[in-house]
C-alpha cells in the first residue's frame, strides 16, 4: 500500500518558565492510503501532541527537537505558510476532542462550514451554502438548522457539525482526536457509525486517537499502542488484541470488563503513567512492569517484529 503519512523519530518538548516536558520521544508511525489506524494510550501518552505535530499547529511553547512528519513525501515542517494553509482542512482535516469548544459561537454552523468550502474550493456563496446543506444531511442534521449557532445544538450534534466541516473538502486523511469522549454512550455509537460510513463513502484514511480499545476494535484495521511519547506495540487490531506482546498492552486489555466470563475485579495497571517532565531511564514502562529485569532499568528496548507486521518494543518479545 502507498504511504500517505510518515512520522519519523519525532521528538517534541514543551517548555515553561519552570519546567520542560518531553511529550514525544522518538515517535515512529506510518499511515497508508485508505487505511484506518487507531492510536491508543492513557491520558498523557502524547497522542494529541502527535496529531497537532502532523498539522504543524503546536502551541508556542512546543518545540520540535528532531525528527520529521512527511505527508505524501513532503515535510510538514518545511512547508511554506501557504502550503500549510492549503493542507489544513483540505488534504488533512481534524475532528477535535471537545465539541463544546471546537466551534466558534459567533458564527452560524452554516457559515463555519461554507467558509471552508469558499477558502479551499473557491466556491461562490450560493454553491457553498448548497453543498453545506448536503454535508449537514450526510451527518443527519436537517438543512433548516443551517443558520443556527453552535450553542443551539446538543454535544452530539455539535460533534456531527465538526465532522461535516472536517469532510467538506474530502480530505485524504481525517484525524479524529477522542471524538466521543464528552458524549453519552448512545451518541458515541452514532458518531462511530457515522465515521465508518463516511470513510467508506469518501475512501479517506483515518487516524483515530482514543484511550478506548472498544472504539479501536469497532473502527480500525491497525492499532498503535502509545506510551510516554513512543509507539510500543503495532499491528493489526486482530493480532494485537488477541495476542498482545508488550506488558503495557496486556495490562490495557486486562483492565477491560469481560461480559462473557466471571471476573471479581478488573486488573488495573499499577502506578502512574510516566511523567513527561521526569522520564525514567531505560524502558519507560519499567517502573510499572511486573516483568521488569535489571537491563530494563538502564537499556532502551528497540521495536522488534514478531509475527508478520506485529511489532513490540520489549526485551521479552
| Rounded CA separation 167/189 (Å) | 19
Task: Name which of 141, 90, 97, 80 is nearest 115 in CA terms.
Answer: 90
Query: What confidence tier does 94 reach under pLDDT thresholds 50, 70, 90?
Result: very high
Between 293 and 102, where is the model more confident?
293
Q: Tell me what pLDDT residue 109 has.
A: 95
In degrees and rounded to multiples of 5, residue 296 shows phi and psi of -65, -25
Strands 92-95 and 310-312: unpaired
DSSP per residue, 173-186: EEEEESTTTTS-HH
| Rounded CA separation 246/316 (Å) | 8
**pLDDT per residue as tens digits for the range 225-234:** 999 999 999 9
**pLDDT per residue as tens digits for the range 264-282:** 666 788 888 999 999 999 9
Q: What is the mean pLDDT of the chain?
A: 91
Q: Tell me what pLDDT residue 106 has.
A: 94
> Strand (E) positions, the chain?
3-15, 20-32, 36-40, 62-71, 74-75, 92-95, 173-177, 205-210, 222-227, 230-236, 304-307, 310-312
CB of 115 closer than 8 Å to CB of 170: no
**How large is the average pLDDT for residues 139-160?**
92
Amino acid at each position: 500500500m502507498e504511504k500517505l503519512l510518515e512520522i519519523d523519530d519525532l521528538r517534541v518538548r514543551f517548555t515553561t518558565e519552570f519546567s520542560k516536558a518531553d511529550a514525544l520521544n522518538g515517535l515512529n508511525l506510518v499511515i497508508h492510503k485508505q487505511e484506518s489506524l487507531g492510536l491508543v494510550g492513557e491520558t498523557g501518552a502524547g497522542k494529541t501532541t502527535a496529531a497537532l505535530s502532523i498539522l504543524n499547529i503546536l502551541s508556542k511553547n512546543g518545540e520540535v527537537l528532531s525528527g520529521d512528519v512527511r505527508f505524501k513525501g513532503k515535510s510538514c515542517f518545511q512547508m511554506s505558510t501557504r502550503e500549510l494553509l492549503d493542507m489544513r482542512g483540505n488534504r488533512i482535516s481534524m475532528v477535535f476532542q471537545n465539541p463544546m469548544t471546537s466551534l466558534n459561537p459567533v458564527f452560524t454552523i452554516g457559515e463555519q462550514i461554507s467558509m471552508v468550502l469558499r477558502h479551499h474550493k473557491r466556491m461562490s456563496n450560493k454553491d457553498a451554502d448548497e453543498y453545506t446543506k448536503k454535508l449537514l444531511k450526510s451527518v443527519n442534521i436537517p438543512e433548516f438548522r443551517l443558520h443556527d449557532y453552535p450553542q443551539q445544538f446538543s454535544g452530539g450534534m455539535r460533534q456531527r457539525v465538526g465532522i461535516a466541516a472536517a469532510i467538506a473538502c474530502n480530505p485524504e486523511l481525517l484525524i479524529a482526536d477522542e471524538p466521543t469522549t464528552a458524549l453519552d454512550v448512545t451518541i458515541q455509537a452514532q458518531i462511530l457509525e457515522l465515521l465508518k460510513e463516511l470513510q467508506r463513502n469518501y475512501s479517506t484514511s483515518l487516524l483515530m486517537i482514543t484511550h478506548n480499545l472498544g472504539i479501536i476494535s469497532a473502527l480500525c484495521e491497525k492499532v498503535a499502542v502509545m506510551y510516554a511519547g513512543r509507539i510500543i506495540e503495532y499491528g493489526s487490531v486482530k493480532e494485537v488484541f488477541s495476542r498482545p506482546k508488550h506488558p503495557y498492552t496486556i495490562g490495557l486489555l486486562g483492565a477491560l470488563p469481560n461480559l462473557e466470563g466471571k471476573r471479581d475485579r478488573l486488573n488495573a495497571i499499577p502506578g502512574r503513567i510516566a511523567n513527561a517532565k521526569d522520564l525514567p531511564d531505560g524502558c519507560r514502562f519499567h517502573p510499572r512492569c511486573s516483568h521488569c529485569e535489571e537491563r530494563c532499568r538502564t537499556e532502551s528496548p528497540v521495536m522488534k517484529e514478531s509475527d508478520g507486521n506485529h511489532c513490540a518494543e520489549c526485551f521479552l518479545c
